[in-house]
Amino acid sequence: MKVYIDGKYFGEKDAKISVFDHGLLYGDGVFEGIRAYNGRVFKLKEHVERLFYSAKALLLTLPMTHSEIEEAVLETCRQNRLKEGYIRLLVTRGIGTLGLNPNKCKKPSIIVIAGKIQLYPQEFYERGLEIITVPTVRNLHSALNPAIKSLNYLNNILAKIEANNGGCEEAIMLNSQGFVAECTGDNIFITKGDRLITPPLSAGALYGITRGVVMELAAQNGMHVAEENLTRYDLFNADECFLTGTGAEVIPVVKIDGRIIGTGKPGDRTRGLVAQYHALTQSSGEPILKTRAKTVRGKAR
């Protein structure tokens, strides 16, 4: 594997950052998880745009433009001959002192890793997840805004630990008001009749790229898509439930806190959205390999 670090490519064993990088010392930085399908990087522009939004919230000035970062992602895929896989794009505050002051960091670092990922075993996509609600509350907007995809993921990790201790792959996180925010790494949806409902961003949900795609697909299917505050009661009595995320894609949920959701099997609406999402990922995105224009009598065509 070749890893991009600040304009150069390094082998996996040589891909290193300084121990004085504030991304390591304090989680001071931002990231994006991106997927490649069928030789294309799915929703690349949207991911890079969200990266810039997160960086702006941290007063972190990126040393590259949108298009330069997009090209770095594509070239990293080419270097690794990656046609299908997962890309981790990171920006750290850079090398600084042992103090917190970000102004001591002279230049941010940009890192691109292109490899493979499988968040959940295939069997869960077929029969659905059983998940629980955990005590760890989602970060407050006034503390560390959940909209920022920062390198500090301890809030989510603590909830993930609780999920693992409860024998589950994933868990629901509530906000400080008791409303459903999101899962440790995914957005959550329920269906009720012809309605598709997901927590609003104000509840602590991340502005998920996959979340947005699924909402668009559901609207095209004639469903009424809404962002509403949800309680555990709403989840328990949903017709169907599923999670979305770049790594997870779209995965059904069939039991929450011991309550069977719907029929206890992935529902028709969920299966339909899964199929539509997979079809879309196979046919859209930024091509990894550059196409060369054909010439006719010395002229480009």
Residue 170 token pair = 């994933």
Residue 106 appears among annotated catalytic residues: no
DSSP β-bridge partners for residue 251: 243
How many Å apart are CA 192 and CA 196, to the nearest integer?
A: 7
Percent helix / strand / coil, the chain, rounded to 5: 30, 30, 40
Q: Tell me the pairing of strands 249-256 and 8-11.
A: unpaired
Contact by Cβ (8 Å): 254, 128: yes
- Dihedral, CA of residue 138, residue 184, residue 160 and residue 146, to nearest 10: -40
Give the tokens for residue 48: 């890079």
Do residues 109 and 6 lie in contact, with contact meaning Cβ atoms separated by under 8 Å? yes
* Number of helical (H) and strand (E) elements in the chain, helices listed first: 8, 18
Is 60 in contact with 108 (CB distance < 8 Å)? yes
Alpha-carbon Rg for the chain, nearest whole angstrom, is 20
Residues 6+ apart with CB under 8 A from 42: 34, 35, 36, 281, 284, 285
Catalytic residue among 149, 192, 255, 290: 149
Mind telling me the catalytic residues? 149
